[in-house]
Amino acid sequence: MPHRLLILSVFIVASCGLAYELVAAALASYLLGDSVLQFSSIIGTYLFAMGVGSHLSKYIKDEDLLARFIDIELLVGLIGGVSATLLFVIFAWVAAPFRVVLYALVFALGVLVGMEIPLVMRVLNARKAEFAEIVSRVLTFDYLGALVVSLLFPIVLAPQLGLARTAFLFGIANAGVALVAAQAFRAELRQATALRLRASIVLLALIAGFVGAEAVTRWSERGIYGDQIVHAQTTPYQRLIVTQWKDDLRLYINGNLQFSSRDEHRYHEALVHPALSALAGARRVLVLGGGDGLAVRELLKYPGLEAITLVDLDPAMTQLFSTSATLTALNQHSLTNPRVQVINADAGQWLETAPGSYDAIIIDLPDPSSYGLGKLYSEPFYRLVSRHLSDTGLLVVQSTSPYFAPHAFWCVVTTLDEAGFHTFPYQAHVPSFGVWGFVLADRHGRYQPPKAYSVPLRWLDAEQTASMFRFPADMPRPEVEPNRLNNQALVRYFEEDWRRVIR
Amino acid sequence: MQRRHFLKLAAAASLSGCEMRLPWQAPPLTVLRPGMAAGHALRDGLPAPDPAREREVEVAILGSGVAGLFAGWRLAQQGYRNFCVLAGPEPQGNAAGSALGGIPCPRGAHYLPLPSLESAHVRELLAAFGILRGNPSSARPEFDENVLVHAPEERLFINGAWQEGLLPQHGLEAEALAQIERFTARMQALREARGADGRRAFVMPLALSSQAPAWRALANESFANWLTREGFTAEALRWYADYCCRDDYGAGIEQVSAWAGIHYFASRGGHAANGEDGAVLTWPDGLAPLTRQMSATIGAERLLPGMALRVTPRGAGVEVLCLNGAEAFRLRAKRVVLAMPLHVAAHVLDLGEFGFDKARDLPQSASWLVSNFLLDGFPREASEEHPLAWDNLRYGGDTLGWVVATHQWIRAARPAQTVFSAYHALPPSTGRLWLQNAAQDELLELAGRDLRATYGRDFERRIQQVELTLRGHAMAIPAPGFLQRPGIAALRAADQHILFAHADLSGLSVFEEAAWWGEQAAHKILT
Ligand SMILES: Cc1cc2nc3c(=O)[nH]c(=O)nc-3n(C[C@H](O)[C@H](O)[C@H](O)COP(=O)(O)OP(=O)(O)OC[C@H]3O[C@@H](n4cnc5c(N)ncnc54)[C@H](O)[C@@H]3O)c2cc1C
């Protein structure tokens, strides 16, 4: 009986070992991207650590074999069980040491798992089983365990339980092996009761973890985003997070809210239609930024538009909004529409070399929170944009909040003035953002806000439009400098304005 | 990840595999010594082949540095057509540019201060190229923002942290700060100082400065001396003054004269309508674009490859024996402009005829190392409080920091690759010999010293390519006595068949001075 029990434990131990490795690699590729790199480096680290573990196993004295085996099982169960949740919490709350913790965990697990099989073999050997038989049996079950998990993990466990609970489940299995072994071999163990007590505590803790894992991950997600994360990705340019709570989808870039599906229609209707509905003969439109495809969705309402070119820096962003089912439902597959061409490039670079002129140019870039982004709100940049705008064309720039960041907003207006445009600033109320600002600009100062809209809209109408172009008395225009590359005034204004607002 | 996508990635990785470097392999290194072989051949008087052909021209400008090109630009701009520019061993001279991995970067001069009112010639040039807009003689003209240095402009690593600007502040004691403030105020006041002749004491171009002996006497002592005399003893202040002199003159406060030291601070009072005082103009490849635009106005047909071996007055004109590769040819001109360094001019022509005495009049020259590093990505900064600036300097040492070639690019995100250009002015007494004999490892050690101290391994592992430009005779040092050289005065005044134009005539080497002598030569030809 004890023989069989040990062989069975090999099966479980082997499955657990592989499971932790897969959980760590899957979590790393999910959070950090580049799955080939993550899988291969984690598997490599893990196998190497197992080698270290096998080597270390020789330092365990023969008389301690069983007790140490049980300890190791408990430790593996504990570390492996909490691994996914721990990593996730670290990633959510403190970004920097994530990789260090990840590889440290993988290494520690590898070392411990690497000690298991040699120990079991020595236990069996000490019981005078025949050596050839031991090797054959142990390794058979070892590999069998690996096979079972490698199939179960992607098909059942990861999708059904999620990574955090999968890890806890295997932790429970490890601790279970420890408890059963402590029970079965109690006669041979010196401190059997203490071991059993330890095993029970770990087992209970892991079960509690299994039950609570969901809550912990949600809590850590909520710690940053308030809602559950349905997509998280770190690209070379930014960190993309999509959250969902009931029917509210939200996109965060580097932790800043980009839209909420509850009210994004207000933002995008305000961004697109005051310009487009004033341009009867528009055929070609350029969108800079706006990789979520929502502005393009609005543009596609105009049957007269022949070509829409969208230039967004990050291929991961446009890829995500071209393929994810929930997100393409939101942008109505705008990015894969045949009238739309998606280009992944830096808008500055692209404008320097691209030919062509457009009837409308819509600039939907992230707020000017860095010197790099600040350059794309500068006078030389607007002059560059101007070279691509047809003589009667219209330019629209999302320009942060005139209410919360008045200096930044009016700095954009002043910069466009300086670059030779006539400007028509306006503001709209978007509940999840507050009052938001846009600047419309043309060459000759002839722009008139539309008196009626011929495309289907959810919110915008002629009255709204008229009031958008009026700035109430509590939003006066402050005296500001234009945004020059030499001083990057806008980045400064933006920082100072928002610092005053955010406590 | 989709399988197809993965296969594409794998294919891309294996395709680019040939560019991959193993950790122990050094990055590809190019060492350039512009003009050295040609200059030494001239010095050693190597025999030249017989000229195979001859070309007649009214004016031959010998040398295509800033001075030669400016002279040519002015002639062309005034509609004067019958001239040519002989490029010499290094087209564009000390204002040449390069490109690593497709990224333009400087091999020499990298910035131009906002031109003061007296630098009318430079203002006109900039106006002609659309860089200066509106009236070129207004106090505050507007400049093309693409080339006004973008923020953040400069930062200094001092007392364990970066600070904004190069003037030391962070972590200094009250006494040092007070001295720095007094020094700044003093230099500000000296901008307005005038001599008995009514001229400003320190003007760029220096030829327009006051000739009053009271001011010119400052050219007879070292800047270090003057600083001490004036009670400027704080270490941080002296280091800063020393850095400024090394950065512009290639020699520190002990070697340059007080007049030159003050000139650095007091002569550049230019303003911009759309930039802060003290802003500079810079291009990704330094000042090379200005030389390219001057060349374009001159016209490719007037730019000849080759160098002058011998300049001989002949009747009412001048004969120039030239060498292009292995082929010799002869230029016959009514007038020639020697737009080459004086130590070279002394080998193609007997300068004694002009009253120039080499032993007495030839300035000592500074040696420079310009190091361009092509990097994969940007090395990680220890803190983001003061992010990477255009010019980045470390306090305390005798290095000159580095500039970022992609700083002026208008991009939301940082490019995948960049070039950092590190500058080193070598100690005047030993520098040239060291450059000549140093092994590649020693050159690389000096070239990357600041960057390794700042970024460590992260810098090292990003290096894709290195280009070192060694300039043994880079520029004249404005040492004590430099304003009182009769031979230099004679060459400046030459106005017959042979004219001179080079920064060496100023005795200190900056774009405005080189251009000024080009302007003078063109003026003599045009009137
Ligand atoms: C590392 C470095 C950094 C600098 N940074 C700055 C800066 O930031 N800002 C600034 O204003 N200035 C700077 N300077 C100074 C500036 O580059 C020079 O003042 C200017 O380029 C000098 O131009 P030039 O025409 O007088 O001489 P050079 O540049 O010396 O040109 C001499 C020309 O003569 C030619 N020549 C040589 N021999 C012969 C021959 N036998 N026949 C024909 N032609 C010949 C050469 O090919 C060359 O074209 C810097 C200089 C160096 C070395």
Q: Does residue B133 sit in helix, strand or coil?
A: strand
Do A161 and A269 belong to one domain?
Answer: no
Q: Which residues of B touch A372 (CB under 8 A)?
A: 411-414
Regarding the beta carbon of B370 and ligand 1, being less than 6 Å apart is answered: yes
Do A124 and A22 belong to one domain?
Answer: yes
Regarding the beta carbon of B250 and ligand 1, being less than 6 Å apart is answered: no
Do A211 and A302 belong to one domain?
Answer: no
Total number of domains in chain A: 3
Ligand 1 centroid–CA B409 distance in Å is: 26
Do A182 and A232 belong to one domain?
Answer: no
Interface of B with A (CB under 8 A): 1, 6, 9, 144-146, 148-153, 272, 274-276, 279, 387, 409-415
Cβ <8 Å between A346 and B146 = no
Query: What is the spatial distance between Cα B421 and Cα B448, in angstroms, rounded to a whole number?
Result: 10
DSSP states along B195-220: -TTSSBSS-SSGGGS---HHHHGGGG
Whole-structure pTM value? 0.80
* Ligand 1 atom index nearest CA of B39: 38
Do A424 and A280 belong to one domain?
Answer: yes
Q: Does residue A408 sit in helix, strand or coil?
A: helix
Nearest to A228 by CA among A88, A431, A86, A80: A88
Q: Which residues of B touch A487 (CB under 8 A)?
A: 151, 275-276
Do A64 and A102 belong to one domain?
Answer: yes
Ligand 1 centroid–CA B199 distance in Å is: 28
* Binding site members of A: 238, 268, 292, 312, 346-347
The CATH number covering residue A465 comes to 3.40.50.150
Count CA within 13 A, CB hemisphere, residue A390: 14
Please say whether the dihedral angle defined by the alpha carbons of residues A166, A168, A171 and A172, taken in this order, is positive or negative.
negative
Whether A95 contacts chain B with CB within 8 A: no
Regarding the beta carbon of B113 and ligand 1, being less than 6 Å apart is answered: no
Which of A364, A367, A442, A497 is catalytic? The answer is A364
Domain that holds residue A57: 3-225
Q: Which residue of A has its CA nearest to B149?
A: A486
Query: What type of residue sits at position B480?
Result: P
Query: What is the spatial distance between Cα B357 and Cα B342, in angstroms, rounded to a whole number?
Result: 11
Which distant-in-sequence residues (6+ apart) come within 8 Å of B296 by Cβ? none
Among residues 34-63 of chain A, which lie with CB inside 8 Å of chain B? 35-36
Regarding the beta carbon of B344 and ligand 1, being less than 6 Å apart is answered: yes
Do A322 and A424 belong to one domain?
Answer: yes
How near does any CA of chain A get to the CA of B325, in Å? Answer: 37
The CATH number covering residue A138 comes to 1.20.1250
Regarding the beta carbon of B85 and ligand 1, being less than 6 Å apart is answered: no
Whether A30 contacts chain B with CB within 8 A: no
* Ligand 1 atom index nearest CA of B423: 1
Whether A375 contacts chain B with CB within 8 A: yes
How near does any CA of chain B get to the CA of A432, in Å? Answer: 26
| Each residue's pLDDT tens digit, A113-167 | 999 888 888 888 887 777 788 888 888 888 888 898 888 888 888 767 777 888 9
Regarding the beta carbon of B342 and ligand 1, being less than 6 Å apart is answered: no
Give per-residue burial for B195-226: e unless 16+ CB within 10 Å, then b: beeebbbbbbbbebbbeeeebbebbeebbbbb
| Each residue's pLDDT tens digit, A46-92 | 999 999 999 999 898 888 888 898 999 999 999 999 988 888 777 76
- Indicate the burial class of A217 (C-beta count within 10 angstroms; 0-12, 13-18, 19 or more): buried
Q: For each of chain B's 527 residues, which pLDDT tens digit applies?
A: 333 333 333 333 333 333 445 556 778 999 999 999 999 989 988 787 889 899 999 999 999 999 999 999 999 999 999 999 999 999 999 999 999 999 999 999 999 999 999 999 999 999 999 999 989 999 999 999 999 999 999 999 999 999 999 999 999 999 999 999 999 999 999 999 999 999 999 999 999 999 999 999 999 999 999 999 999 999 999 999 999 999 999 999 999 999 999 999 999 889 999 888 889 999 999 999 999 999 999 999 999 999 999 999 998 999 999 999 889 999 999 999 999 999 999 999 999 999 999 999 999 999 999 999 999 999 999 888 899 999 999 999 889 999 999 999 999 899 999 999 999 999 988 999 999 999 999 999 999 999 999 999 899 989 999 999 999 999 999 999 999 999 999 999 999 999 999 999 999 999 999 999 999 999 999 99
Regarding the beta carbon of B104 and ligand 1, being less than 6 Å apart is answered: no
DSSP states along B156-173: EEETTEEEESSS--TT--
| 3-state SS, one letter per residue, for B106-122 | ECCCCCEECCCCCCHHH
Question: The domain B3-7+38-97+284-362+483-526 is classified under which CATH number: 3.50.50.60, 3.30.565.10, 1.10.1740.10, 3.90.380.10?
Answer: 3.50.50.60
Number of residues that make up chain B: 527
DSSP states along B365-395: EEEEEEEEEEEESPPPPS-SSS---SEEEES
Query: What is the spatial distance between Cα A331 and Cα A324, in angstroms, rounded to a whole number?
Result: 10
Cβ <8 Å between B412 and A488 = no
* Ligand 1 atom index nearest CA of B92: 49
Do A214 and A287 belong to one domain?
Answer: no
Cβ <8 Å between B150 and A486 = yes
End residue of a domain, out of A181, A209, A225:
A225
Query: How many interchain CB pairs under 8 A, A with B?
Result: 73
Do A213 and A300 belong to one domain?
Answer: no
* Binding site members of A for spermidine: 268, 292
CB B393 within 8 A of CB B246: no
Tokens of A41: 């480096």
Whether A187 contacts chain B with CB within 8 A: no
Ligand 1 centroid–CA B499 distance in Å is: 17
Examine the residue annotation and report whether A364 is marked as an active-site residue of this protein: yes
Whether A68 contacts chain B with CB within 8 A: no
CB A308 within 8 A of CB A345: no
Tokens of B412: 């939301």
